[in-house]
Structure 1
Amino acid sequence: MAGNKTFTLSKESELRIEVGWDAPLRLQLTSGAAEIFGTELPPQYWLTFPPAHKFAIFTWNGATVEVDGIAEVAYVADETPMVSYVNVHAVLERRRVRAKEASISNPSNHSESQGPRIIVVGPTDSGKSSLARMLLSWAARLSWKPTFVDLDIGQGSISIPGCIAATPIEMPIDPIEGIPLEMPIVYFYGHTTPSVNPGLYKAVVKELARTLEQQFAGNAESRAAGMVINTMGWVEGIGYELLLQAIDTFNANVVLVLGQEKLCSMLKDVLKGKPNVDIVKLHKSGGVVPRNSKYRQRMRIYRTREYFYGLTNELSPHANVVNFSDLLIYRFGGPQAPRSALPIGAEPSADPTRVAPVTITSDLVHAVLAVSYAKEPELLLSSNVAGFIYITDIDIERKKISYIAPCPGELPSRLLLAGSLTWVD
C-alpha cells in the first residue's frame, strides 16, 4: 500500500499496520477516538512510525485514520479480543483500589495493600508484549504507576536484548518511542536464549525480584499499582521451568495465558495449591504476526542500534580509546573447579553464576559489554548495570581498546560484563 489512504473504522474494530523495512510511515487520526496498545492517539496530528514497526489502531466507538506512506500490510479487522482484555483491566482496577484503601486504613499490613502482580505468559507470537503494554497504559491513564517487568531476553522492550529489566510506568506508553527509560533497573544476563545458562537466568531473575521487593516495601503507591510481567515465548522444557520460577519469585497473583490451552491446563494443575493465584485464559489477537528467527535477529540488531543511535539516528554515540588496564572484563559461568579440589568421586560441575575474568583478545571486537555498578567482581551478580558499550577495535600491540558509548565522559565503573551479545552495524 502506497500514498495517502483513509481508513474508516467501525465500533470495536482495529486497523493493523506493518511498516516496511525501508521507509517510515505517517498517519493521523482525522475523526473519532482511537488508541494504540492502550495509548490514545492525538486528533489531527501526524505521527511518524519508523521502519519495521508493527501495531494496531483500535477504536471503541468508531474513527477515521489517514495513512501516508508505504505499509507492507494495512487492513481493518472487526474481530478482536479487546473486550476481554479491557474486562481484565477492570478487575485489576478494582484490586488496585482495594489495595490503596488497605494501605491507608492499615499501613503496616503489606499483604493487604499489595495490588495485582500480573504475569503474561504464552508461546512465541501470541501478543504478550502488546497485552502487557495495554494493561500498563490503561492503568497509567487512571493515574496509577505500575511497574513493568520484562523477562524476555530475546526482544528487550526496556533495555537491549540479553537483559532483564523493570521500570515504573507513569504515563501511557508512547506508541513510537516505547517504554520510557528514565530510571530502569537492568540486570545483565548476556545471551538471547536462556538455554545458554539457565542457572544464571534464574539467579538474575531473583536479583531483580529482590530489588523490586525492597522498593515496594517502602512505597505504598507502587505496591498498590502492582506490576505487569512480560515473559519469554519459550513455554516447554526449561522454558516452562523458568516460567514457574518467575511466577513464584515475583509472587504473581494473576497469570494471563495467551492462546494456549495446554499451557493453561498445566499451570492450573501445578498452581492449584495456591488459592490466591488466578489463572485466566485469553484469546490472542488475530493481528499477531508470526516472526521467524531471521526477523527476530534483525529486530535484535535494530534494538541494539537504537540504544546507541536513537530511534531516528538522533543520538551521536561517543567514541573512546582506553588502555587494557583501564577496564576489568568478566563473564558469568566461569570454569569449573579442578578435580583435585573436589571430594573423591565427585564430578566437577560448572557454577552458572561464578564470575571469571575475560582475557582481552581480538575476539571482543563487535561485543556489546555491560557497564556494572558493582564495586568489586564478587558483587557483579547482585549489581544492576548502568548501560552498555560496543567494542569497535582491539589493538593488541598497543594494548588499546576502542569503543562507543551512548554519552561522553568516563564510564561509571571499570567493571564490565561480557556475554555472547555481539552487534555488527
Structure 2
Amino acid sequence: MSIQIPRGTQDILPGEVELWQYIEEKAKDVCRRYNYHEIRTPIFEHTDLFQRGVGDTTDIVQKEMYTFTDRGNRSLTLRPEGTAAVVRSYVEKKIYGQPNQPTKLYYTGPMFRYERPQSGRMRQFVQFGVEALGSQDPAIDAEVLALVMSLYEELGLKNVKLVLNSLGDKESREAHRQALIDHFKPSIHEFCDDCQSRLEKNPLRILDCKKDREHPLMKNAPSILDYLNEESRTYFSQVKNYLDQLGIDYVVDPTLVRGLDYYYHTAFEIMAEGEGFGAITTLCGGGRYTGLVEEIGGPSTPGIGFAFSIERVIMALKAQEQAIPSAPQLDCYLVSLGDAAKEKTVELLYQLRSAGVSADKDYLDKKMKAQFKAADRLQARFTAILGDDELSQGKINVKEMETGEQREVELTSFIDYIKEKKVGGK
C-alpha cells in the first residue's frame, strides 16, 4: 500500500509554487513600504496560549486544534492562527519596551485546524498576517486597512469589498451582551448545542453560527451599533473618516462578528467574488483587540491586525482570471557532444551560476536532439552547444532560442557574453 498525503494538506509543486512566492513577495513589499517588519514564531506553542489568547468559547479551541502531549507530559498545540503567538513573543521578549512604538509586525507560515476540507479551507494552510501593537489611534486602524486593500489592488483583484463593524469598548460590549442574552434566552432550546453553551459565556458568538443562521431570532437580534457608548461611536466615526480621506470604499455591516473572543472596536472582513468563485467569500478578516496582551502576561496594550490564507487569494486570482506569473525562464542551457565537452560543461555550469546566471545541463547522457528538447521545455533563453571539436579550438556556439540566431563565442569570454546578454536583454 502506497503512502498518501494526509487529508486536508497539499503538495505545492514547481510550476505552482511560483504563484505562492509571487503573492508572498508582494505582501512583504507592501509591508516594507508601510514600515512593518517580519516576525517568525514556532509552529507549535503551549496549548494554554491559545486557550487564553484565542478564547475557550471559540470553535478553534473547542473543535479544531491539533493538540498533543510531548514526552515531558506538556500539552502542546500546532498553531491554529498567528496573533496569539506574535503577542506571546511581544510580551516574552519585552518588545513593548523598545523605543520605536507602535510595534508593527507581519508574519507568514503554515497554520493548522482540524476542519472538513473543502475548496479554500485546508487543515494545513498558509496564512499571512499583520499586527500593530501599542497604539489606540484610529489612524492605525485605517493604516492596517489601507495596507491590505493596497495589497489586493496590486495583485490585480477586482470586486473586493471591505465590510466594517464596531464591537465597541468593554462597556458597550457588556450592554450588548446582556441584550443578546435577553433576546435569545426564551428560545435558546431551539438552537444548536454550541449556541446553547455560548448563551452565557459569549452570546456574541451565536450571531456567527452557521447552523442557525436562518432562525427568525437571528434577523432581529440586537445590533451592537445600538449599544455603542459615545466614546465607541466617536472612535468608529474617526476610523470611517480616515477611510473616506484615503478614498477606500467600505460597507458597514452591524451583523459582522469575528470568530475570536479578543476583538473590540473595529472589526472587518474583506470579501471577493468572481465568476467561478461562487458566492461572496471572505478573503481576509481582522480587527482591533484589547486585553489580549494582558491575558498573556504583558502590560495593557491595544492592538489591531488581520490575517488571510494564501489559498483563498489564489482561488480569487484564478476565478477572476488574473494574470498569474509563470516559472522564471532559464537563462542558459548547456548542450554537450563528446566526453571532453561533457566534462568541460560541469565547469562552465558552475561559472555561469557563480556569475548570477541561471543555468542547467543534461545529466542523463541524452542525445543532442533530446538535449535541445530539454532546453525548449525549460524555456531557456540561450542554448550553448559545446562539442569536442569546438573545445579543442577554444570556441562554443551560443543560440538565442527566441530568434534562432547562432553565434560562435570564445570560451574565455563565454561567461561575460551570457552575463551581458542577460542584463541587456539582447
- TM-score where L is the length of structure 1: 0.20
The structure with the larger Rg is 2
Q: Which structure dedicates a bigger proportion of its chain to helix?
A: 2
